[in-house]
Amino acid sequence: MAEPKAAAGQPPAAAPSSSLPRWVRPLLRQLASVAVTLLGLMALAFFIGRMLPLDPVIAIVGEQAEKETYDMVYRQLGLDRPLWQQFLFFIRDMLSGDFGNALFTGNRVADDLKRVFPATIELATFAIMIGVGIGVPVGVLAAVYRDSPLDHSVRFIGLLGYSSPTFWLGLMGLIVFYAWLDLVGGPGRLDVSYIDMVEPVTGLLTVDALLVGEYDVFWNTLSHMILPGTILGYSSMAYISRMTRSFMLEQLGQEYVTAARVKGQSKWRVVWRHAFRNILVQLITVIALAYAFLLEGAVLTETVFAWPGFGRYLTSGILAGDMNAVLACVLIIGVIFVALNLLSDLLYRLLDPRTK
Amino acid sequence: MNQTPQLLVEDLHVRFRTPQRMVHAVRGVSFSVGREKVGIVGESGSGKSQTGRAILKLTPPNGTVSAKRLQFQELDIAGASEREMLKVRGSRISMIMQDPKYALDPVMRVGAQIAEAIPESPRTSAAEKRDKVMAMLEAVHIRNPARVHDLYPHEVSGGMGQRIMIAMMLMADPDLLIADEPTSALDVTVRMQVLAILDDLVTRRGLGLIFISHDLNLVATFCDRVLIMYAGRIVEECAAADLQNAKHPYTRGLLASLPRIGSRHQKLAVLNRDPAWLND
Amino acid sequence: MSDNSSTLRGWLRAEVTTSPRHAALQRFYFGWLRLKGNPLALFGLSVLLFLIVVAILAPVIAPVGFNDQSLTRRLLPPSAEHWFGTDELGRDVFSRIVWGSRITLYISCLVAIIAAPVGLAVGTTAGYFGGWTDTVLMRVNDIFLSFPGLILALAFVAALGPGIENAVIAIALTAWPPIARLARAETLTVRSSDYIAAVRIQGASPARIILKHIVPMCIPSVVVRITLNMAGIILTAAGLGFLGLGAQPPLPEWGAMLSTGRQSMLQAWWLAAIPGLAILTTSLAFNLFGDGLRDVLDPRSE
């Protein structure tokens, strides 16, 4: 092959009859695949829901209800229909966002979720900023100075990070930094005196506070967020730095790195301009995944810190045996995971010149 | 063909520390190179590649280089700091590597990579840089430089990639070029083209060339002088034309085992390694 | 050859092995030598062995039972008499930790015993048969993988009800997908080799091929993966225990101890610190040992 293959814009001889751009069909295939996975998610959630030892009717009407009330609610919930019909209703409800009512709050689950989600997003975003801001540079340094004391300490700190139970770190953090040293705010998002001082516009307290210029509230919320956020960020950082190091090591062993140095480029210039740019795409995938893991870590951490977010909502739901709330949460998380995976896949395809 | 030495190597040693043991890759190698084409021939593990990298001080981190003398023109390379080497690499000594698929940055356009080799200078504008790159692309016989300039490495063929590498490494106008197996990854038909371009550029610019290869035939036809390496040592040194009169048994063995069109032998001779060669 | 064959060491290092068993033992021996060179992995292994010993000898090591209460001795800090102090019901924390090691080991072993075979079965079947079997099985696999481990386990336990057995089942259900994926990948590489074709020509049934020829090839990487994942499994189990969904009181499960310790954590920091340290150490040990194991058994990865 003496000439490059993209010769003068001629279509290849065996081109399909469709005139769609080359990237559309794989994308459609992937979307179809995602749809099937989502369907499976809902099936799994439905199945889990049916496994509950609790009788959902009794949960609503109470133990002492009369038979007519019981039957009425039974029919209302559609429990008299065949299973596959119930599943279809289930899908319809999920897709339209009707998750039913949460028994332990008395509200519609959808409304509850709208309320608690921003709190978790705020925490997770804070954490991911720490994870990326520290994890990436540290991972690069560890790779460049491989097997040095710096490298070993980075790896060890990382190892501790994903061997520790995050919620335990939260407990320790509260004991040391809140109880003993009084450096940070305690459980909850705000001191009691500041609650409801700021109108929830985005639901992100930091942003909302800044929007109205209530700096006291802003700092207070920050002081409450810093401990859970840092702890979640630490576990994120452990994962991100490990992956960054691994990717960088792979690149640094490549010939083009040596070639760049032959050209007279300094070591650090080669590291950032060449090696690092080659891992960017993989890093994006890792960061998307790390964000998803954060949602998982948030579940227990929010419980420890009484953070009124999604995770605490889920655990409260579990402890109350509230099937609607639990299933809705589980499904939402599954969807987020799938969406994040899809997003990182698409970004990969978009950004890597080799896949164009 | 000027033979006043530019590069003087005396008693070069390269050692690698591995978890199992110490590997002595280059054991006391001495030679000199002027503005001529010198070939270094050896099998895998003979230390020829590491010799090349040692000259540029690009030995991998777990290796140590020592030499009684490692001098290029007026500069003492053995004692040079990294900062000083930055001024040597690319602009005074350069190296072409084996496989352009791996030696070019996959996410950077080819033109940008060549432009990177241009020494930093506030006086050169972006347009001037681009012109220089175009000129270089034409010098390596690339027919459509404007289009190739914006391609990614995976979009070019092997031969073109190697020509791009030559362009990239000669961009800063070095005096000595090290070619580390430059044609080993190419198809035979493309090989000759690339070598012709290399020969042309080296002669016209009056460069010194160190041609590292495992292919004795190739080196014998291409170079002026040949050095044979075995197990980290130079076992033979002679003019390319004189190769038939080589004295060392390893060289003779190599020559005997080369297939020749029209020879009447039924079986190819096989090299018999004498452990005594390790202690030369 | 020199007269080495008389000693055990010589026999293990012999250039030519005399039987499959000899070869297997030799591989094991060389692997062990390589592992020995990795101090961190050895540390991990010794911690794990220590844990096993403590669990087995719990009745001997623990000074008192795990539920011996003493309301006069509540919330005492660590001392010579109570190495880890006492909890809110006056129970000796050290004893509880020691007894709790049994629960930790019980959960880890059970999860491994359930998840590994299931994962292997699903993965090798999907990889070997391909086609619809593969698509369906992998789709199911993907669905499970779409949920983060803890969340899925929480959902299952919420549905099944709290209790240690349900926790084990729930965690095992989240642990098998990565194993299946790995087994499938290995199967795909092995499936087209000549020796598999040879066995098939000889008339072996698919089940026999899979069990006798493919599964053994997958075992090293599966072992490594399970060991590495075990750290996460322990953390998930602790999380479930923390939420009261695992072993029920008064069982001294470490995660549950953290939950009760949380109530009194401001006065009695040791109640929150020590069970967490136990969990951390165990998880760390699995990670270190798993890393070392991977270097020995699967050197091509990283």
* Distance in Å from the first CA to the final CA of chain C: 37
- Are the beta carbons of A287 and C123 closer than 8 angstroms? no
> Which chain A residues touch C244 with a CB distance below 8 Å?
319
* Range from A132-141, A169-178, B250-259, C98-107 carrying the lowest mean pLDDT: B250-259
Which phi and psi (to 5°) does residue B274 adopt? -100, 120
- Of these ranges, A140-144, B88-92, C204-208, the one predicted with the greatest mean pLDDT is A140-144
ipTM attached to this prediction = 0.88
Bond before C250 cis per omega within 30 degrees? yes
The answer to whether A262 contacts B90, with C-beta atoms less than 8 Å apart, is yes
Residue with tokens 């669990």: C55
Least confident among A120-124, C12-16, C30-34, C245-249 = C12-16
> What is the rounded CA–CA span in Å between residue C138 and residue C122?
9
- pLDDT of B20 strictly over 80: no
Amino acid A317: pLDDT? 85
For residue B225, what pLDDT is reported? 92
pLDDT for the residue A26: 78
Determine the pLDDT at residue C84: 84
Q: How far apart are CA B251 and CA A190, in angstroms?
A: 83
Strands B233-239 and B225-230: antiparallel
User: What pLDDT score was predicted for residue C82?
Assistant: 81
Q: Which residues are CB-neighbours of C51 under 8 A, at least 6 positions away?
A: C101, C104, C105, C282, C285
Distance from CA of A58 to the nearest CA of C (A): 16
Q: List pLDDT tens digits, range A286-314.
A: 998 898 889 888 889 999 999 988 888 98
Indicate yes or no: CB of B97 within 8 angstroms of CB of A255: yes
Quick: pLDDT tens for A16-34.
Answer: 555 667 777 877 888 888 8
| Other beta carbons within 10 Å of A291 | 21
C 157-176 residues inside an 8 A Cβ radius of A: 157-161
Residue A295: per-residue pLDDT: 86
pLDDT of residue A115: 85
How many other CB atoms sit within 10 Å of the CB of residue A211?
A: 14
Half-sphere exposure at residue C82, Cβ-oriented, CA atoms within 13 angstroms? 24
pLDDT of residue A247: 94
Residue C104 lies in a domain: yes
Give the confidence band of A6 by pLDDT, cuts at 50, 70, 90. Answer: very low
Q: Is residue C25 part of a domain?
A: no
pLDDT tens by residue, A83-107: 787 888 788 887 787 777 777 777 8
Q: What is the mean pLDDT of chain B?
A: 88
Q: In this predicted model, which residue has the larger pLDDT, A52 or B37?
A: B37
Examine residue C12 and state whether it is found in any structural domain, yes or no: no
Structure confidence at residue B96 (pLDDT):
94
Contact C243 A300 (CB under 8 A): yes
For the cut 90, the answer to whether the pLDDT of residue A285 exceeds it is: no
Q: What is the pLDDT of residue C300?
A: 53
Residues of A with CB under 8 A from a CB of B: 1-6, 146, 254-256, 258-267, 274, 277-278, 352-354
Inter-chain contact C255–A319, Cβ cutoff 8 Å? no
Judge whether C58 lies within some domain.
Answer: yes
Return the CA Rg of chain C.
23
Report whether A111 contacts A313 (CB < 8 A). no
CA distances from A242 to A54, A139, B163, C291 (A): 43, 6, 38, 13
Q: How far is CA B106 from the centre of its chain?
A: 22
Residue C121 maps to a domain? yes
Question: At residue B140, does pLDDT exceed 80?
Answer: yes
Let me know if residue C162 belongs to a domain: yes
At B75 the three-state DSSP class reads strand
Of the candidate ranges A231-235, B261-265, C140-144, the one whose mean pLDDT is the lowest? B261-265
In whole numbers, what is the pLDDT of chain C averaged over residues? 85
Task: Report d(CA B210, CA B27) in Å as an integer.
Answer: 19
Q: What mean pLDDT do residues B127-155 have?
A: 91
pLDDT of residue A11: 46
Partner A, chain C 81-140, Cβ-Cβ below 8 Å: 139-140
User: Which pTM does this prediction carry?
Assistant: 0.84
Which of 236-295 (C) contact A at CB < 8 A? 238-239, 242-245, 255, 258, 261-262, 265-266, 269, 272-273, 275-276, 279-280, 283-284, 286-288
CB-CB: which of C143, C150, C258 is closest to A171? C258
pLDDT of residue A64 exceeding 80, the answer is no
pLDDT of residue B51: 93
Count CA within 13 A, CB hemisphere, residue B181.
18
**Cβ neighbours of residue A228 under 8 Å, at least 6 residues apart?**
A123, A170, A173, A301, A302, A304, A305, A307
Q: What is the pLDDT of residue C22?
A: 80
What whole-number distance in Å separates Cα of residue A243 and Cα of residue A287? Answer: 10
- Taking phi over 0 as left and psi of -120 to 50 as alpha, with beta for the rest, A122 belongs to alpha
- Residues of chain C contacting residue A310, judged by C-beta atoms under 8 Å apart: none
Average pLDDT over residues C181-199: 86
Mean pLDDT across the stretch A151-165? 91
Give the per-residue pLDDT at C2: 47
CATH number for position C274: 1.10.3720.10
Domain count, chain C: 1
Most confident of A251-260, B257-266, C28-37: A251-260
Q: Which residue would you say has higher pLDDT here, A217 or B164?
A: B164
Burial degree of A98 (CB within 10 A; 0-12, 13-18, 19+):
middle
pLDDT computed for residue A8 by the predictor: 46
Q: Which residue, chain included where needed, has tokens 């975003």?
A: A125
Q: Which residues, numbered 185 to 204 in chain B, qualify as contacts with chain A under a Cβ-Cβ cut-off of 8 Å? A: 190
- Residue of chain B nearest A269, judged by CA positions: B116
pLDDT at B3: 63
So what's the pLDDT on residue B249?
82
Name the 3-class secondary structure at B203.
helix
Quick one: pLDDT at residue A59?
A: 66
Query: What pLDDT shows up at residue C299?
Result: 57
Q: Which residues of A touch B90 (CB under 8 A)?
A: 262-264
Look at residue A9 in the predicted model and tell me its pLDDT. 46
Residue with tokens 């690149």: A251
C1: pLDDT strictly greater than 50: no
SS3 letters for B147-181? HHHCCCHHHCCHHHHHHHHHHHHHCCCCCEEEEEC
Tell me which residue range forms the domain holding C208. Answer: 38-301
Is the predicted pLDDT of residue A261 greater than 90, yes or no? yes
Mean pLDDT over residues A182-195, rounded?
A: 79
Answer yes or no: is pLDDT of B229 > 70.
Answer: yes
Residue range B19-25: mean pLDDT, rounded: 83
Q: Is the pLDDT of residue A356 over 70?
A: no
CA distance to A164, B4, B157, per residue, from B10 (Å) = 56, 16, 39
Distance from CA of C154 to the nearest CA of A (A): 8
Average pLDDT on A73-87 reads: 77
C238-259 mean pLDDT: 89
C43 contact A CB<8A: no
Residue type, B14: V
CA distances from C221 to A172, C186, C295 (A): 36, 9, 11
Instruction: Classify B105 as helix, strand or coil.
Output: coil
Residue C301 in this model has a pLDDT that exceeds 60 = no
Q: What is the pLDDT of residue C6?
A: 63
- Put simply, whether A295 touches C (Cβ < 8 Å) is yes
Domains of chain B: 7-92+178-279 (3.40.50.300), 101-173 (no CATH)
Statement: residue B168 has pLDDT above 90: yes
Side chain identity at residue A75, one-letter code: R
Q: Is the pLDDT of residue B205 over 60?
A: yes
C33 lies in some domain = no
Query: Measured over all CA atoms, what is the biggest interatomic distance in chain A, rounded to whole angstroms?
Result: 87
| Res. A234 pLDDT band, cuts 50 70 90 | very high
> In the 8-state DSSP scheme, what is residue B224?
S
Least confident of A159-173, A248-262, C285-299: C285-299
How large is the angle between the packed helices C93-129 and C39-56, nearest 10 degrees?
A: 120
Report pLDDT for A237. 95
Q: Say if residues B58 and B262 touch (Cβ distance below 8 Å).
A: no
For every residue of chain A, which 3-state class applies, written as one string? CCCCCCHHHCCCCCCCCCCCCCCHHHHHHHHHHHHHHHHHHHHHHHHHHHHCCCCHHHHHHCCCCCHHHHHHHHHHCCCCCCHHHHHHHHHHHHHCCCCCECCCCCCEHHHHHHHHHHHHHHHHHHHHHHHHHHHHHHHHHHHHCCCCHHHHHHHHHHHHHHHCCHHHHHHHHHHHHHHHCCCCCCCCCCCHHHCCCCCCCCCCHHHHHHHHCCHHHHHHHHHHHHHHHHHHHHHHHHHHHHHHHHHHHHHHCCHHHHHHHHCCCCHHHHHHHHHHHHHHHHHHHHHHHHHHHHHHHHHHHHHHHCCCCHHHHHHHHHHHCCHHHHHHHHHHHHHHHHHHHHHHHHHHHHHCHHHC
List the single residue in A with minimal CA-CA distance to C144: A41
Q: Does residue C272 lie within any of the structural domains? A: yes
pLDDT, position A278: 92
Choice between C242 and A354, residue whose per-residue pLDDT is larger: C242
Sorting pLDDT into bands at 50, 70 and 90, what band is C39?
confident
